[in-house]
Amino acid sequence: MSQKIRWGVLGGGGDSLIGVLHRVAASMFDAYALTGAVFNPDYEQNKAFAQEIGIPLDRIYPDFDAMVEAELALPVDQRIQVFSVLTPNFLHYPMAKKLMESGFHVICEKPMTMTHAEALDLQKIQADKGVLFALTHTYTGYPMIRQMKAMIAQGAIGSLQKVDAQYYQGWINPIIHDPDQRSTTWRLNPDKSGISCCMGDIGVHAYQMLEYVTGQKIESVLADLNHLYDDNQMDIDGTVLLRLGRHVKGVLRASQIATAEENNFSLAIYGREGALKWEQENPNYLTLLKDGQPAQTLKPGHGYNTAFSLDGTKLPPGHPEGIFDAMGNIYKGMAKAVRGQEYTEGEFPSMEDGVRGMKFIETAVASHAEGNVWKKL
Amino acid sequence: MSQKIRWGVLGGGGDSLIGVLHRVAASMFDAYALTGAVFNPDYEQNKAFAQEIGIPLDRIYPDFDAMVEAELALPVDQRIQVFSVLTPNFLHYPMAKKLMESGFHVICEKPMTMTHAEALDLQKIQADKGVLFALTHTYTGYPMIRQMKAMIAQGAIGSLQKVDAQYYQGWINPIIHDPDQRSTTWRLNPDKSGISCCMGDIGVHAYQMLEYVTGQKIESVLADLNHLYDDNQMDIDGTVLLRLGRHVKGVLRASQIATAEENNFSLAIYGREGALKWEQENPNYLTLLKDGQPAQTLKPGHGYNTAFSLDGTKLPPGHPEGIFDAMGNIYKGMAKAVRGQEYTEGEFPSMEDGVRGMKFIETAVASHAEGNVWKKL
Amino acid sequence: MSQKIRWGVLGGGGDSLIGVLHRVAASMFDAYALTGAVFNPDYEQNKAFAQEIGIPLDRIYPDFDAMVEAELALPVDQRIQVFSVLTPNFLHYPMAKKLMESGFHVICEKPMTMTHAEALDLQKIQADKGVLFALTHTYTGYPMIRQMKAMIAQGAIGSLQKVDAQYYQGWINPIIHDPDQRSTTWRLNPDKSGISCCMGDIGVHAYQMLEYVTGQKIESVLADLNHLYDDNQMDIDGTVLLRLGRHVKGVLRASQIATAEENNFSLAIYGREGALKWEQENPNYLTLLKDGQPAQTLKPGHGYNTAFSLDGTKLPPGHPEGIFDAMGNIYKGMAKAVRGQEYTEGEFPSMEDGVRGMKFIETAVASHAEGNVWKKL
Amino acid sequence: MSQKIRWGVLGGGGDSLIGVLHRVAASMFDAYALTGAVFNPDYEQNKAFAQEIGIPLDRIYPDFDAMVEAELALPVDQRIQVFSVLTPNFLHYPMAKKLMESGFHVICEKPMTMTHAEALDLQKIQADKGVLFALTHTYTGYPMIRQMKAMIAQGAIGSLQKVDAQYYQGWINPIIHDPDQRSTTWRLNPDKSGISCCMGDIGVHAYQMLEYVTGQKIESVLADLNHLYDDNQMDIDGTVLLRLGRHVKGVLRASQIATAEENNFSLAIYGREGALKWEQENPNYLTLLKDGQPAQTLKPGHGYNTAFSLDGTKLPPGHPEGIFDAMGNIYKGMAKAVRGQEYTEGEFPSMEDGVRGMKFIETAVASHAEGNVWKKL
């Protein structure tokens, strides 16, 4: 019998969208049992929310520290095995740190930490403790992203010569032009959000995905960031020039003032033998281009996809799955790892993705601050 | 406290895709607790599956009759409240009948029954017993279908003058040209599948959705069905002319030999003041056309949508939700009904959809058999 | 030296859009010299228009009869070789008749005639006189339509099993609901427009293209036409069931009250080995579907296209050509024929297309009038 | 009477695609008469080509100088009024110079010159002589580009905050990896092609269009160019960071090694009140985005377009026009100017577009060469 994995949740209570996303994802393959939680820092609200979603109250704890202590006091076969950290960004680091030090596996929302130094600390702890760590860069869970990664690894487009990632949103546009809103929105406050808004929130997604699908490291960056009002200088837009290797260049564009864009994240990877293109808002289409041939459109669930991609599709072709399903695939991969089953590297983003992501953010900000100069990653 | 609804499942064990779809859907809004089941007619397999997905065995029953008996013996506040019937088609009718007669609410996969007569019988039983009944025409749960329905009801496109539904699949193409496969596929066997293959399986979806989004009844049909080999005369393709009212006509096209189509279901509704168009494979786009104006593309989650549509979206615009989420919305609506909360008509397809659907199938087949003549519905 | 073909034009003066279309098309391959014309029945306006577009007045004639007489009086090597008939519909037949009887080649706008009987008469005359005749079903000139025709002929999608053509426009919607407009619009007046509006104007395009791309004849039809007001019973909408052979069926849908549609004409042809799909509003994309393979998108100008298709593309891939270019290709084909050069059947639609088209219109109207019954073509 | 404009052509003979494009464009509005030419530097080939396309030989000249001399000897009312310069790039400057100095109007293919200094010289000559000059940046002639320009000028998207242009082609990919081809292709040879390949050929299109549609000047650039082999260091790929004003930034991306891309040129302009997006391969669609509203898709020919846009559409909505039609619109505008009729600024790109384009190319190359630094334009 494959007993469900005992799963603890930190944050994600109330109206939290991220809470819904993780709970649904965890349920998708019948692998996790929500066993204990601190959904909310207020104990009463925490309990109320647990009741609202039908969770017994016996392992709903007053706070994080109490939870860790109590769980550690339980026999191993009753103890929570893996925690999801869905709290505000500044809590990711201390919580993940204590959890891993205590021997728990961790699923962590992005950004992994507030600084690169914190990220390196977590990396060291994970290595020391030998626990599992998944960073929920959700888009990696889309079947056609997995297919893209697998095809590039197999040489379908040959050696890389150009990469292009776009992540355009417009949600800050109505905020930034209003002095009140721009001074109160947490995402625009470096104390709450870290040193970067646009690069820290979405640029890092684009960065992670470029490295994820290509399997190559970005070596150096030159960033030009933008803000609209001098009374709030957090970046809300920016372009980053990329170098991946000798004669392999690229560009990463991100904006939160690309007016009225929703979540327009796209990738285009050009190699000597072909190209692969993908768009997050239509995630079930992967375009393959080859010199002198008709464009091909790959879709999930077909036998021509790799096993790695097919593992992420539940229904036959033509039944569109979406972002909940992408997150579900990440949870599925982590469940395999927790259970000691075989899994493919890339089923869930790792500590290294988090470390490199934090490094990217800091480096891009520094490149801009120093006058748009090249900086090594 | 909103205790979870005690939910029972019939069928859907093993590799059943429909089982996954319903379990995930039921989990999406934290409203249901899977309390008991007969996942499989073989008791050992039933228990094994329950273990595999982490369900306690105490209410995993040897068979359907035992389950009903045992549940009825429990106090009302422990008894399963609603059953989902995911068994093979010919079992929908007897199971739904017994469940409703025993006072349980029912969520039933389509087709509701094998015949129109059976459907009428269920309708009578539901009326007598006052239980709830939901038929899982999944596509009704898409936010943009809800938006389409609401806009038409509000007069956004004026009085109807033309409707067009297409449901093209290709999956029977590789089967039908192989004598062995076409003689053994259950879907092509009227004993297992009913009197119609194409109209019974997918034509009825298109029919239900036309009535669902327009809020109008199709009055009469003229069908021309097709088969490719005389040794298997089940319809695998067909076109149905429609009349909805004086000078309101339309057409419904369905095929399972539209080679290499996946699940290409689309609707186009033309009214005096505009048109609305939608495609199942890209369900998050709703196109509004107006004479002399730019086409508009509506997407889920925006404030311009109706409350009915917004209730079906969990994440902000640009985060694509899919068919699991559509089914989740149907379960959400049924949960409101079970809990006696207010809900909008149309949150889940009803008994009447099932009765009319069975009537449509039988009438289309008769229209064709009698020489492509008009038949009233 | 390839002297330009001496070309005469009847109609197409003033603001005529069709006049512009044909003049530009004739110029595209440097093959025609506009040598003489009766652009307008009013001689003064005719001359004024000739001056406006920079044509010398010496062969601008007072009327059609004078033109034919004068041209016949010229030596053969100065005489106009081919006439384009762009006059109102009811003049197509008498003009084409006299021109062919006088030994001129004819390029004729559609509809070829007002009745099938007239069409048969023209067919006999052409056979007697041995002149060339092209009917300008413009859409046949698109490179991807040529590619579609060639691929089907070569067996790319195997034997046919289903055809579907849609031709949806909305331009009559604002007219039909206004009693004044609907009583005065020439297209809705059978005296000017023939017995059918929707089928005669656009249904026949869809019909011609189905036969053109498949290379197969439609054997019988069952039509259901529609009008919205009893004071004007011209069809403005209709669906036609099609039979092309044993177990080969299809459907043709046309409407001029598909509110706010522009010129939404599309074809989908399904064969045992694959499918081909095309849309007129995006004419440079041809989709090829195959069981279990990624969809392919073919575009003009690539080496993978047939010579027949490539002959219709002037610029490299990615430089969109449009409907003027499609008409230009028809003129190019006719130029080859006039010059006695080799050309491919299908470079321009023929007399037979016209005869069959008129038969289709009359048969569809009769099928509807007799109660939606099957009629042989 | 509007006599046709006497038009001379330099270059564009034989298989020249650009020759076809200009001849068809000139014919589209019946405004030009091809009166004289030097299609080819070889006099025999020149005459042969004239005969092939049906042009009388009396004003087919042995060479450019002879042509200018002979035309100047003619009375003004017989003399060619405007010349199109379609010769190899290095001849644009000397020919345009002599033509303007001799008092002829000029239509010139891009690039206008080989250097910015030459461009400034032409600008001075034009000012001195008061002749007309059009630079055929063809894409400006698309109706939806005109609409985009007009809407931005009218404030439809408010003050700019971000611009993004992409021009991705793949045609150099099969060339660059072959040592023989890359050493012999003229486009990769700076002596024939100028100091830049990618920026000089297509980057400059993107640059011109950004300034054209926004009506704003790009103030400074930082370029990172790329080549793949050290034995040929012409740029074949590059990204250029842009500054248009305080807090108005953007990016221009161009590549000729974006494998298997055809002519994938797109613009996205984001303003405080909305955004406009357009793609060259689907030029008849213009997308308007507004915060919190459905996306709108504008198409040519509708009454909601500006007069400036409508002037560039010949047929009703739904009849796709393409790149020949775009060039036709430029010729139409130039014809108005030659005839002294009123026309809208922007109907044809001007000398200033050419001067700024050459400046852009030189500045981008310098920015890269100096280590990716900001340079003023």
pLDDT at C2 over 80: no
Q: Cβ contacts (< 8 Å) between C292 and chain A: which residues?
A: 302-304
**Fold adopted by B143-316+350-369:** Dihydrodipicolinate Reductase; domain 2 (3.30.360)
Closest by Cβ to A251, choosing from D177, D239, D247: D239
Residue A1 structure tokens: 């019998």
pLDDT tens track for B82-106: 999 999 999 999 999 999 999 999 9
DSSP string, A50-112: HHHTT--GGGB-SSHHHHHHHHHHS-TTTS--EEEE-S-HHHHHHHHHHHHHTT-EEEEPSS-
Q: Are strands D160-168 and D32-38 parallel, antiparallel or unpaired?
A: unpaired
D208 and D353 Cβ atoms separated by less than 8 Å? yes
Q: How many CA atoms lie within 13 A of B210 on its CB side?
A: 34
**Dist. CA B305–CA A251, nearest whole Å:** 36
Q: Do B259 and C295 touch (CB under 8 A)?
A: no
Q: How far is CA B374 from CA B221, B223, B256, D189, in A?
A: 5, 8, 24, 73
Q: Edge-to-edge strands of the sheet including A105-108? A: A32-38, A5-10, A82-85, A105-108, A133-135
CATH number of C142-319+348-369: 3.30.360.10
B58 token code pair: 């105490």
pLDDT tens-digit series, residues B191-205 = 888 999 999 999 999
* Cβ distance of D226 and A237 shorter than 8 Å: no
Closest CB from C292, C295, C304 relative to A293: C304
Question: Does C23 sit within 8 Å of D30, measured CB to CB?
Answer: yes
Please report residues of B whose CB lies closer than 8 A to that of C272: 173, 177, 259
**How many Å apart are CA D258 and CA D236, to the nearest integer?**
10
Q: Where are the alpha helices (DSSP H) in chain A?
A: 17-27, 43-52, 64-73, 89-101, 116-129, 143-153, 173-176, 179-184, 190-193, 198, 204-214, 307-310, 323-338, 351-369
| Whether pLDDT at A10 is above 60 | yes
pLDDT at C1: 45
Q: For domain D143-318+352-369, which architecture applies? A: 2-Layer Sandwich (3.30)
Strands of chain C (E only): list them: 5-10, 32-38, 82-85, 105-108, 133-135, 160-168, 220-226, 237-245, 248-255, 264-271, 274-279, 286-289, 295-298, 375-376
Residues of D with CB under 8 A from a CB of B: 288, 292-299, 302-304
Q: What is the pLDDT of residues D7-43, one digit of tens each?
A: 999 999 998 999 999 999 999 999 999 999 999 999 9
Residues of chain B with Cβ-Cβ distance to A320 below 8 Å are 280-283, 320, 322-323
Q: What is the CA radius of gyration of chain D?
A: 21
Q: Give the largest Cα separation in chain D, rounded.
A: 65
Place of tokens 């989650």: B301
CA distance C311 to C305: 10
Q: In this predicted structure, what is the pLDDT of residue C54?
A: 87
Helix, coil or strand: residue B199: helix
For chain B, the C-alpha Rg in angstroms (whole number) is 21
Closest CA to A23 of A62, A3, A59, A49: A49
Which residue, chain included where needed, has tokens 């929302």? Answer: A109
Report chain B residues whose CB lies below 8 A from the CB of D298.
Answer: 294
Delimiting residues of CATH 3.40.50.720 domain(s) in chain A = 5-131
Residue D370 has pLDDT above 70, yes or no: yes
Interatomic CA distance for residues C299 and A114, integer angstroms: 49
One-character DSSP codes across D166-211:
EEE--TTHHHHTSHHHHHH-GGG-HHHH-S-SHIIIIIHHHHHHHH
Q: How confident is the model at residue B54 (pLDDT cuts 50, 70, 90)?
A: confident
CA D94/CA B339 separation, integer angstroms: 85
Residue C369, SS3 per DSSP: helix
Question: For residue D134, what are the CA distances in angstroms to D99, D176, D337?
Answer: 13, 33, 10
Position B192 scores a pLDDT of: 87
Strands D220-226 and D375-376: antiparallel
Mind telling me how many Å the CA of A355 is from chain D's nearest CA?
Answer: 27
Interface touch D260/A174, C-beta < 8 Å: no
Residues in chain A within 8 Å Cβ distance of D290 = 259-260
**d(CA B52, nearest CA chain A) in Å:** 5
pLDDT over threshold 70, residue B343? yes
Domain with CATH 3.30.360.10 in chain C: 142-319+348-369
Q: What angle do CA D92, D96, D97 make, to 5 degrees?
A: 115
Q: Are C168 and C280 in contact (CB under 8 A)?
A: no
Q: Which whole-number Å values give the CA distances from B166 to B163, B199, B228, B238, C20, in the listed order?
A: 10, 12, 20, 10, 37
Q: Which uninterrupted H or E stretch holds B150?
A: helix B143-153
- Nearest alpha-carbon partner for D270 in D289, D243, D298: D289
Instruction: Please report, for chain C, how many H helices and E strands are present, in that order.
Output: 14, 14
Contact C357, C110 (CB under 8 A): yes
Stretch(es) of chain D classified as CATH 3.30.360.10: 143-318+352-369
The one-letter code for the residue type at D222 is L
Q: Tens of pLDDT along A297-323?
A: 999 999 999 999 999 999 999 999 999
Mean pLDDT of chain A: 97
Gap from C14 CA to chain D (nearest CA, Å):
13
Taking an 8 Å Cβ-Cβ cutoff, which residues of chain D contact chain C? Answer: 1-4, 17, 20-21, 23-24, 27-28, 30-31, 33, 51-54, 169, 171, 261-264, 280-284, 299, 314-325, 328
Query: Would you call C231 exposed, middle or buried from its count of C-beta atoms within 10 A (0-12, 13-18, 19+)?
Result: exposed
- Residue D2: the pLDDT is 60
pLDDT at D304: 98
| Omega cis (within 30) before C111 | yes
Task: Give the CATH number of domain C5-131.
Answer: 3.40.50.720
Residues in contact with A292: Cβ distance below 8 Å, sequence separation at least 6, in sequence order: C302, C303, C304, D174, D260
> Is-contact B220 B201, C-beta < 8 A?
no
Number of neighbours of residue C146 by Cβ within 10 angstroms: 29
pLDDT level of residue B331 (50, 70, 90 thresholds): very high
pLDDT of residue A193: 87
Say whether domain A141-317+349-369 belongs to CATH 1.10.1060.10.
no
Give, in degrees to the nearest 5, the angle at Cα B202 between B198 and B208: 130
Q: Of B115, B123, B257, B256, nearest to B191 (Cα)?
A: B115
Cβ atoms of D292 and D300 within 8 Å: the answer is no
Burial A361-370 (b: 16+ CB within 10 A, else e): bbbbbebbee
- What are the beta bridge partners of residue B240? B223, B252
CA-wise closest residue to B299 among A282, C53, D336, A346: A282
Q: Quick check: C21 and D314 CB within 8 A?
A: yes
pLDDT average, residue stretch C9-20: 95
Token digits for C254? 């046309």
Cβ neighbour number for residue D179 with a 10 Å cutoff: 11
Nearest by CB to residue C260, choosing from B164, B255, B289, is B289
Integer-rounded Cα radius of gyration of chain A: 21
Query: Is pLDDT at C97 greater than 50 in this prediction?
Result: yes
Interchain pair D302, B295: CB under 8 A: no
Residues pairing with C273 in the sheet: none
Tokens of A107: 């699923």
Would you call B278 helix, strand, or coil by DSSP? strand
Let me know: does B320 contact A281? Beta carbons within 8 Å.
yes
pLDDT at C344: 93
CA nearest to D269, candidates D292, D246, D244, D294 = D244
Phi, psi of A218 (to 5 degrees): -80, 125
* The two structure tokens encoding residue B261: 């189509």
- How many angstroms separate the first and last alpha carbons of chain C? 46
pLDDT in tens, C208-253: 999 999 999 999 999 999 999 999 999 999 999 999 999 999 999 9
All residues of chain D having their beta carbon less than 8 Å from the beta carbon of residue A275 are 170, 258-261
How far off is chain D from B282, nearest CA to CA, in Å? 16
**Residue B286 scores a pLDDT above 60:** yes
- What percent of chain B clears pLDDT 70, i.e. is strictly above it? 99
Average pLDDT over residues D38-52: 96
Rounded to the nearest integer, the mean pLDDT of chain B is 97
* Residues of C in Cβ contact (< 8 Å) with B177: 272
Query: pLDDT digit string (tens) for A105-142?
Result: 999 999 999 999 999 999 999 999 999 999 999 999 99
Residues D281-340 pLDDT 10s: 999 999 999 999 999 999 999 999 999 999 999 999 999 999 999 999 999 999 999 999
Closest by CA to B163, choosing from B246, B242, B264, is B242
With a cut of 50, say whether residue C299 has pLDDT above it: yes
DSSP string spanning C172-193? THHHHTSHHHHHH-GGG-HHHH
Q: How confident is the model at residue A2 (pLDDT cuts 50, 70, 90)?
A: low
| C294:A292 CB<8 A | no
Per-residue tokens: B98: 């017994």
Name the residue among C31, C53, C282 with its Cβ closest to that of D282.
Answer: C282
Q: Do A314 and B282 touch (CB under 8 A)?
A: no
Contact B84, B107 (CB under 8 A): yes
pLDDT for the residue numbered A192:
87
Q: How far apart are CA C185 and CA C201, in angstroms?
A: 14
Q: Which residue in the set C228, C260, C275 is minimally distant from B258, CB to CB?
A: C275
